[in-house]
Amino acid sequence: MAALVGATALAAALLGGGAGAAIVGLSGGSSGSSTTPSSAATGQTISNTTGSGDVSTVAAKVVPSVVQVNVTTGRGTAIGSGVILTADGRILTNAHVVQGAQTVTVTTSDGKKYQAKVVGSDTKSDIAVLQAQGASGLAPATLGDSGKLAVGQQVIAIGSPGGLQNTVTTGIVSALNRPLSDVGGGDDQQNSPFNRQTSNVTSGPSYTAIQTDASINQGNSGGALVDSQGRVIGINSALYSPNSSAGSVGIGFAIPINDAKKIVDQIVNG
């Protein structure tokens, strides 16, 4: 059964007192994973070149502006990513990353950890804003213009898939203005994997996405999708997978940064 899942990993103790853990998508449905990704693991995957910018140059510029987000909930722990907006610790991430959060910890690319609070979230657009406590001197990301994107344009995704912080992957813009309702089901809502995956959520996200083949996996949620100049043009948010444990198959989705900026402004300024 195909599934569109939020690209964040949620480890929860299995019912019955077992020692295993489950990887859960937006719906809270689980797959049979037996281990929990380690938040301490780090790694980086870099391709050769993309468009007019060398990937290593772009990565060096953008990685310091992307954080790992670790969340504890009543069900277990979650791993996602976030994009630094201000030097004093305002951070953009996905609403589903921090849904039900009891505590939130953000870790910068150089390993510094900060406790954070959720300033606000909008589940419909899947956008949330965090504030890292006592932070200063952080590296804000440069935000681009998602209205100028073109299909086939080279892009780079940065985040913490599976807790592997500072991971960099490359691809292209596969499609623009992709309604999530089109994915796997179209008008047949009963066959929509997105609806199946969010069937127990009162109001699931309904944004129009950037589709990319850059590898996005659980833990990338809230991370940056950037152009070849290192400008953030989208917030990685979901992936389409033939089953809940298959990982990336080259169909990922990001919230256009122009839309995200509007929601951030509403959350911060009312």
Is 187 tagged catalytic?
no
Is 96 tagged catalytic?
yes
Choose the catalytic residue: 39, 160, 221, 241.
221
CB 156 within 8 A of CB 50: yes
Is 126 tagged catalytic?
yes
CB 252 within 8 A of CB 211: yes
- Per residue, the 3-state secondary structure of 143-207, as one string, reads ECCHHHCCCCCEEEEEECHHHCECEEEEEEEEEEEEEHHHCCCCCCHHHCHHHHHCCCCCCCCCC
Choose the catalytic residue: 27, 30, 65, 96.
96
| Type of residue at 93 | T
The H or E element spanning position 30 is: strand 30-31
Choose the catalytic residue: 126, 213, 227, 259.
126
Any idea which residues carry the catalytic annotation? 96, 126, 221
